[in-house]
Structure formats: structure tokens, C-alpha cells
Amino acid sequence: MEALAARLSQLDSQVEGAIRVVMFYDTLMRRRVDLPALARASASLAECVAGLRLHGTGRVIRFAPDGREAPAPPSPASTTTPITLDEEEIGTVWLERSGAPGSLDPVLLDRLAIAAAAVVERYGPARTTMADPALVELAISSDSDEAARARALRLLGFAADLPVRVVAVRSPLPLDRVGTLLCPSRPVKAAPLADVGIILATTVDQDRIPAGVRAGIGAAESPDRSWREARTALRFTTSRRPVLHYAGLGALALLAQVPEDAARDNADVAAMARVAGDPGDLETLETYCAAGSLRRAADLLHLHHSSVARRLEQIGKTLDLDLTDPTGLMRARLALTAWQLLND
């Protein structure tokens, strides 16, 4: 192997060099080497530090050209390539070259990524984001006992000493993509459950939730309770507030416990349904309730404040409320939220 690396370093032909890089990794794969051996051989071949990280476990492997583990902290990567398995990104490989990237670096990393995926698949289970929905449901069900829940979480790849956060999502994007974005370097699993997607993760970076995705984030450490909280928070999301933490709802969460029949029979909620018949009026009221002031609402709607004032006056007549009065505004906010929950 070392002899082949030495010969490769003397190649003048880029085409011949690329072919020999492919042969080099074919030899490694036939020998069924593990991930550290792959990284070590790659560092020797590239004559610089080579690194590998698996997203599902957070495992990082780095080797220097002399065959020893590379010292920390790592240098900036000069070239990177994703590791994909079953069309899902499960990790990354990279080179830490001090100078400009070598002409064969992309070929080397491409073959390293393919070899790493083969090793993960061979010695798996593969650390993919998507999980068996039945196993996820067992982990979050309130009917599961603690032993069954702990076993389900262990089978999903979560360590016993790590907290598990639950996120309920409605997404136009694939769940595995959302899960990887939410928790890029720690264990994360996703599965569809009825009409809602569920993501289990050890950490959640809400700033990484992509546009168009609505997400409710549970607060409790127990997965079953966190799931109920996440599902409740999801119900309160809107286009203007697409991501909500259950803990941030406070007393508003109590509205989710109001029986649907009682909510529909309420006069303010019934009037809100009439307002919702006009999308423009509904947007105006939603913006005004969120902004808390006429001028701020006008700025958000890109309208003159007098136009917004006229709309709000008409909406107030429909609701039989004075929206400039604090009590009237509070009733409108509660009625709007209750109506949104009914139409979730």
C-alpha cells in the first residue's frame, strides 16, 4: 500500500493518476478495511491530513501522513466531499492541505467517500436519518413503559445518558433532509406519523430549520411528554411564526385543551370565521395582532397606515370589537388563535 502511494506521488499524467487512485481504493475495499484504516491510507496517499466524520454518531477520524492520529485542533479543510448512502448524506470526508488543493484531490475524496459508505453499510447498521415509524412511535408513546422506551431509543441509536428532544414538523421537504439540518453532527432520527413528521434529536438548532417548514419543539426531557408538547406547539405555528417552542407558549397552551365544540360555539370565534372568509382581512388582523401597533402593522403589510386603519375598522365591526381598545385587541387575539387551532 505504501509502495503504491509512493508511485502515485511521482505520476505526471493526471488521467493515469486518477485511474491509479481508483485502483488504490478498490484494493482497500477488497481488503475490507475499517474507517480508521481508510483515513490513514488516504492521508498517506494525499501527503496531508485526511479526515472523516459521520453525522449520525458525531464520530471524527483524522490521520496525518505519518500514519498517526492528527493533532487537534484541525486545520481548515482544503477540499470536502459528502458521504452518501441510499441517497442520504451520512457524513463528510476532507483533506487539510496547507497549500492549494492538488489536481487529484477531488478524485481521491470521491473514492474515499464511496469506500467510507461501503464500510458503514457493511459494518452498520447504517447511520441513516430515517427510522422505522413503529420504533419511533414506541419511543414517544405514553403507553410504553420505561424499559420498552429505553430499548427503542437504544435501537434508534441514542445513548442512555443523552437527552432526546422531540420536534413535530409539517414540511414540503423530505424529513431526512430536515432532520440532518436540525442536528447536523449529533444523533437524529425522523419518521412520518399520521399527517405529522416527527424528529428525535439530541440537540436542536432552530436557526437551521429551512423556510417553508413549520416546527413545534417540545421542552420536556421525557420523549413521550416532549412529543405531546411538540405537537401542541406545532398547532400554534403560522406563516409568520413557523417555529415555536412549547415553553414559549406559556398560558396560551391552555387554549389547545379547550373542547372544539366549546370553541366553535364562542361568539368571538364564530365571528372570526367570517373575517377569515376574506384572506386580505385575515392577513391584516394577523399582522396587527402580532405587531401590536397600527404603524408597525402598516410597515409589515407595505400599506399606508390610513389604509390599514380602515381595514381594521371594518374588521372590528365584523367582530363587534373595538380593536384599538386593549380588551378588544386581547379578545381578537384569543379568538384568532382559537380559530387557527380549529382549522389546524
User: Where does a domain end: 256, 284, 310?
Assistant: 256
In a domain, 128, yes or no: no
pLDDT string in tens for the chain (344-residue length): 555 555 545 545 677 788 889 999 998 888 888 889 999 999 999 999 999 998 766 678 999 999 999 998 888 999 999 998 767 788 899 999 988 888 889 999 999 999 998 887 776 544 567 888 888 999 999 888 888 888 888 888 787 767 888 999 999 988 888 888 887 767 788 999 878 999 998 888 888 888 899 999 998 788 999 999 999 999 999 888 999 999 999 999 999 999 999 999 999 999 999 999 999 999 999 999 888 888 998 898 888 988 888 999 999 999 999 998 999 999 999 999 999 999 87
- The verdict on 251 and 263 lying in the same domain is no
Yes or no: say if 52 and 91 are a contact pair by the CB < 8 Å rule. Answer: yes
Query: Is there a contact between 190 and 130 (Cβ–Cβ < 8 Å)?
Result: yes
Q: What nine digits make up the cell of 130?
A: 430515517
What is the distance of C-alpha 184 from the center of its chain?
8
Examine the domain organization and report whether 252 and 319 are in the same domain. no
3-state percent breakdown (helix, strand, coil) of the chain, nearest 5: 50, 15, 35
pLDDT value of residue 12: 52
Strands 214-217 and 243-245: parallel
Same domain? For 187 and 110 the reply is no
Are 116 and 8 part of one and the same domain?
yes
Tell me which long-range contacts 223-229 makes (C-beta under 8 A, separation of at least 24). Answer: 223/139, 223/140, 223/149, 223/153, 223/164, 223/166, 224/140, 224/141, 224/142, 224/144, 224/149, 225/142, 226/140, 226/164, 226/165, 226/166, 227/140, 227/166, 227/168, 227/198, 228/142, 229/166
Same domain, 20 and 32: yes
* Per-residue pLDDT at 151: 86
- φ/ψ of 233, rounded to 5, equals -60, -35
Domain boundary among 123, 148, 172: 123
Given 123, 142, 159, which residue is the final one in a domain?
123
Q: Does residue 288 fall inside a structural domain?
A: yes
Asked if residue 208 belongs to a domain, the reply is yes
Domain identity same for 35 and 90: yes
Pair 148, 217 in one domain = yes
Q: What is the CATH number of the domain that holds 20?
A: 3.30.450
The answer to the question of residue 284 being in a domain is: yes
219 & 331 share domain? no
Kindly provide the b/e burial profile for residues 162-195, where b requires at least 16 CB atoms within 10 angstroms of the residue's own CB: eebbbbbbbbeeebbbbbbbbbbbbbbbbbeeee
Per-residue pLDDT at 10: 54
Domain assignment present for 45: yes
The one-letter amino acid at 285: L
Are 97 and 147 within one domain? no
77 shares a domain with 20: yes
Give the chain's largest Cα–Cα span: 86
- Residue 179 belongs to domain spanning: 133-256
- Rg (the chain; Cα; Å): 27
- Pair 243, 285 in one domain: no
Q: How many CB atoms lie within 10 A of CB 136?
A: 25
Structural domain total, the chain = 3
The pLDDT tens digits for 289-316 are 888 888 998 898 888 988 888 999 999 9
**Residue 125: which residues within 8 A CB-CB, separation 6 or more?**
none
Q: Do the domain assignments include residue 90?
A: yes
**Is the model's pTM score more than 0.95?**
no
CATH code (residue 315): 1.10.10.2840
Report yes or no on 66 lying in a domain: yes
Segment holding 113, helix H or strand E: helix 105-123
Q: Are residues 60 and 153 in the same domain?
A: no
Q: Is residue 242 within 8 Å of 178, Cβ to Cβ?
A: no
The answer to whether 336 and 286 have CB atoms below 8 angstroms apart is: yes
Which amino acid is it at 28? L
